[in-house]
Amino acid sequence: MFESLSDRLQGVFANLRGKGRLTEADINDAMRQIRLALLEADVNFKVVRDFVSAASARCMESEVLDSLTPAQNVVKVVLDELTRLLGEVNEGLGLSPNRVPNVIMLVGLQGSGKTTAAAKLAYLLKSQGRRPQLVACDVYRPAAADQLETLGGEVGVAVYRAPGTDPVAIARAGVQEAIDNLRDVVIVDTAGRLHVDDDMMAEAQGLKEAVEPDQILMVVDAMTGQDVVNVAAAFAERVDFDGVIMSKMDGDARGGGALSVRQATGKPIKFISSGERPDSLEAFHPDRMARRILGMGDVVSLIESAVKVQAEEEEQEAAERLAKADLTLNDFLDMNRQIRKMGGVSKLISALPGGDKALASGQVDEGALDHMEVIISSMTKAERSKPDLINGSRRARIAAGAGVTVTEVNQLMKRYAETRKMVKRMMPALDAPAKGKKGK
Ligand code: GDP
């Protein structure tokens, strides 16, 4: 996802960096290339037009052109505009605190990933301490209810289904089932169609009136590209919705849908799903996604998924370390151990700056993690928390203890130092406003 757009944009920036001082012609040229890259990524043309015009205007400000680091400022402008395009901040799910049970209704075309998203959302809410109830309202495809039942079973969430052809009656009974069993959030999976059609819209409208959802979320397959604008407009007109779940972000979609939907509909992407496993739904953070697209990695999400599987106390420690933007070798070792639980090395690497390229070029050595574990295990507690202690003679001792060569210990220390430096560099640097940026 976003791979080719990411490559193109990085190419534009590399070109600018090579130039030192920038002229208006350089900016125009860069903006033309950015425009093409976005169009090729299947971003809606109106969205592209507005994006390029806003970014150009800001880049032409004298503070950007005349600064000592114009290329970096251009990158920062594009990062800001991309973040804005994606919706600025995560808007949260938006359930009323005064209502029990809350009701969430999922709509979307058939095959968009609605049923799996329902189960993933139930899993996510359950892991946050909620007591969800799934309700299967697709009366046309019994297989959809079967699928929801299976997925519900996998994530340990009750599924309500009933025979009959009236989805409204089933939805009402599903909400009642939740009330009777003291469940506090109901997730209604509705029927989709292959294309936008009147019957589907009328049915969704009827369900909306019957169960008055706190949130209606439209599920969109990331592969839909800019056609998302038409699908969303149809749903917005007939049922309206509050936000988007963008599914299949792990595929090779060019990214046009994700980049167009907010601007074109005014509705935020609230969640993204990037896999078939129940835990592959996560809150969408526009700023992190923008950084990823620009090849700056996604260290914050990475660390979040690492701490997700740790005990609460460890989470607290990790958050504190993150606040200081420093990593000890203990963090490094923990990360290593969590990687297996997080879906493997490849997923982790792809979240790091340049990671997608490393994966593509086969530089990723899956076995390196086992080595790392053995070497770090041979260090003392003090060495792990204060890696600067590790001098030449300590390296020799560690190598002997781990049964590896000193070169391998050096390689590990180098990799650790690079990661530590990257975390330090990324956190504060990106919070600083670009020169020339007008206050918002
Ligand atoms: P529905 O018709 O909208 O309910 O769609 P489903 O939930 O049945 O999903 C359609 C297919 O897409 C299923 O095979 C899912 O396993 C798959 N799918 C859904 N979400 C994702 C995702 O985020 N990543 C991947 N790779 N597959 C997904």
Question: In the CATH scheme, what is the code of domain 299-431?
Answer: 1.10.260.30
Nearest to 429 by CA among 291, 316, 309, 311: 291
Q: How far is the CA of 110 from the centre of ligand 1 (A)?
A: 10
What's the rounded Cα separation, in Å, for the pair 404 and 36?
A: 50
Residue 222 alpha carbon, nearest atom of ligand 1: 23
Q: Residue 191 annotated as binding? A: yes
pLDDT digit string (tens) for 246-290? 999 988 778 888 899 898 888 999 999 998 888 899 999 999 889
- Name the nearest CA neighbour of 151 among 106, 185, 121: 121
**DSSP character for 214?**
S
Q: How do 243-247 and 215-221 pair as beta strands? A: parallel
Higher per-residue pLDDT: 231 or 314? 231
Instruction: Tell me where in the chain the CATH 1.20.120.140 domain(s) lie.
Output: 3-86
Q: What is the mean pLDDT of residues 95-124?
A: 94
> b/e per residue, 243-282, with b = 16+ CB within 10 A?
bbbbbbbbeebbbbbbbbbbbbbebbbbbbbbbeebbbbb
Annotated binding residue 69: no
Task: List the single range of 128-142, 198-212, 250-264 with lowest mean pLDDT.
Answer: 250-264
pLDDT band at 434 (very low <50, low <70, confident <90, very high): very low
Instruction: Please indicate whether residue 393 or residue 313 has the higher confidence score (pLDDT).
Output: 393
> Is 210 annotated as belonging to a binding site?
no
**Per-residue model confidence as pLDDT tens digits over 116-130:** 999 999 999 999 999
**What's the chain's average pLDDT?**
83
Confirm whether residue 250 is marked as ligand binding.
yes
Q: Which atom of ligand 1 is nearest to the CA of 219?
A: 3
DSSP letter string, 228-274: HHHHHHHHHHHT--SEEEEE-TTS---SHHHHHHHHHHSPPEEEEE-
Q: What spacing in Å lies between the alpha carbon of 309 and ligand 1's midpoint? A: 25
Residue whose entry in the numeric block shows the structure tokens 């037009």: 49
Q: Which pLDDT score is estimated for 333?
A: 76
Q: Output the CA 268–ligand 1 centroid distance in Å.
A: 21
**pLDDT tier for residue 362 given thresholds of 50, 70 and 90:** low
Q: What's the 188 CA to ligand 1 centre distance in angstroms?
A: 16
- From the alpha carbon of 112, which atom of ligand 1 is closest? 3
Where does the pLDDT of residue 212 fall: very low under 50, low under 70, confident under 90, or very high at 90 and above? Answer: very high
| pLDDT (mean) for 99-113 | 93
Q: State yes or no: 321 annotated in a binding site.
A: no
Question: How far away, in angstroms, is 400 Cα from ligand 1 center?
Answer: 50
Residues whose beta carbon lies within 6 Å of some atom of ligand 1: 108, 110-116, 147, 192, 247-248, 250-251, 273-276, 280
d(C-alpha 281, C-alpha 187), whole Å: 15
Q: Tell me which architecture the domain covering 3-86 has in CATH.
A: Up-down Bundle (1.20)
Mutating to test ligand 1, I would choose from 190, 276, 282 the residue with most ligand atoms within 8 A of its C-beta, which is 276
Q: Where in the chain is the domain with CATH 1.10.260.30?
A: 299-431
* Interval between CA 115 and ligand 1 midpoint (Å): 7
CATH number for the domain formed by residue range(s) 102-293: 3.40.50.300
Q: What distance in Å separates the CA atoms of residue 221 and residue 112, rounded to the nearest whole number?
A: 5
* % helix, strand, coil for the chain, step of 5: 60, 10, 30
Distance from the alpha carbon of residue 65 to the mean position of ligand 1, in angstroms: 46
Pocket test for ligand 1, best of 116, 123, 147, 190 (most atoms within 8 A of CB): 116
User: In this model, does residue 430 exceed pLDDT 60?
Assistant: no
pTM over 0.80: no
Closest CA to 440 of 47, 35, 54: 54
Rg (CA), the chain: 24
Higher pLDDT, 338 or 437: 338
Cβ burial, residue 117 (10 Å; 0-12/13-18/19+) = buried
Q: Judge whether residue 335 has pLDDT over 80.
A: no
Give the ligand 1 atom nearest the CA of 273: 23
How remote is the CA of residue 253 from the centroid of ligand 1, in Å? 14
CA pair distance 387, 384, nearest whole angstrom: 6
Residue-wise DSSP of 337-372: HHHHHTT-HHHHHHTSTTHHHHHHTT---TTHHHHH
Q: Give the position, in ligand 1's atom list, of the atom nearest the Cα of 189.
A: 4
190 is in an annotated binding site: yes
Locate CATH 3.40.50.300 in the chain.
102-293
Which position has the token pair 């993933």? 120
Q: For tokens 């070169």, what's the residue?
A: 407
24-46 tens-digit pLDDT: 999 999 999 999 999 999 999 99
